[in-house]
Amino acid sequence: MKICIVGVGAIGGYLGTRLTVAGSAQVCALARGATLAALNEQGWRAQVGDRLLQAPAVASDQPAALGVQDLLIIAVKATALSELAPQLSPLIGPDTVLLPAMNGVPWWFTQGVAELADARGQWLPLHSVDPGGRIAAALPAEQVLGCVVHMSCSTSAPGLVQHKMGAGLIVGEPVGGLSERVERVAGLLRQAGFDVTASARVREDIWYKLWGNLTMNPLSAFTGATIDRLLADPQVRDYCSAAMLEAQAIGARVGCPIAQTPEDRHAITARLGAFKSSMLQDVEAGRAIELDAIVGAVHELGQRVGVATPHISALLGLTRVFAQQRGLYPPLA
């Protein structure tokens, strides 16, 4: 199988390193700048505990130089995908499987949901994550597999990944059910050392992960606090619970019910201890934050299905202004 990793940051770098070291596929990378130079000079690298995993890399900043792939793992930030997606066509053939290993609500999330279709039953893209449907036009929906990432990694230098915890991946068909291609991709990832679940309800898995990230990511970003500090404050915890109840009501309307209470989820998150969310890491590194995919999309979905979201709306506005002040989010049009 020919596999291309698009976006060699923390998650993409770890996936690429593990897959290359496993040796069961031909792996290449679409990268640029210092990351591309590091891959060409030092190969794939991931620090896992006291071990450095390393293997030669094939990488380019030109999609045409890499050619059509069997599996395209898209691990870029959600903020970059709208501009990048149209450039990926040389990598995509009629049988290429697209696996977005990204945070938040994906561009394809409304597909097949009657409550989110127009009067003619047409799938309407989410403006917050795919304005104008540009991503959907470039990445064929029928070739996409849903993916949820449950691992924590960071980059200490271009092309060098530090694995912190977890190796979980959930893979499934966006419209539900299991398929041969899900099992094929899951098996390949298992061979590379990942803990993979082939899910018949991957939309629900995506929504459940988002349910925790919805509040923890933006609150940690603009307070600068680790997650344990947020959960230890009773007023902050209550605010998170109120926002999560709004998201829970939205999920029930779009086929993603959650049986837990917010307190149940807080208890799970608390077990992870003092860690920095991905959005806080982006703020500290001066990178654009994935606010639209994690909060904006939930707000938009609430508007579409008629669920009031005063707490989510406030969180979106506060985080947006915070990020705009630091040049990490564009000004409102």
Q: How wide is the angle at C-alpha 309 spanned by C-alphas 248 and 175, nearest 5°?
A: 45
Of 2, 164, 209, 276, the catalytic one is 209
- Which residues lie closer than 8 Å to 233 by C-beta, 6 or more apart? none
CA 18 to chain centre: 19
DSSP 233-292: SHHHHHHHHHHHHHHHHHHHHTT----S-HHHHHHHHHTT-S---HHHHHHHHTPPP-HI
Neighbouring CB atoms inside 10 A of 187's CB total 12
CA 234 to chain centre: 29
Distance, CA of 186 to CA of 171 (rounded, Å): 7
* DSSP H or E run through 324: helix 310-325
Distance, CA of 285 to CA of 295 (rounded, Å): 20
Distance, CA of 104 to CA of 146 (rounded, Å): 12
Verify whether residue 2 is a known catalytic residue: no
Closest CA to 192 of 163, 222, 160, 230: 163
Closest CA to 243 of 223, 224, 267, 218: 218
Catalytic residue ranges:
209
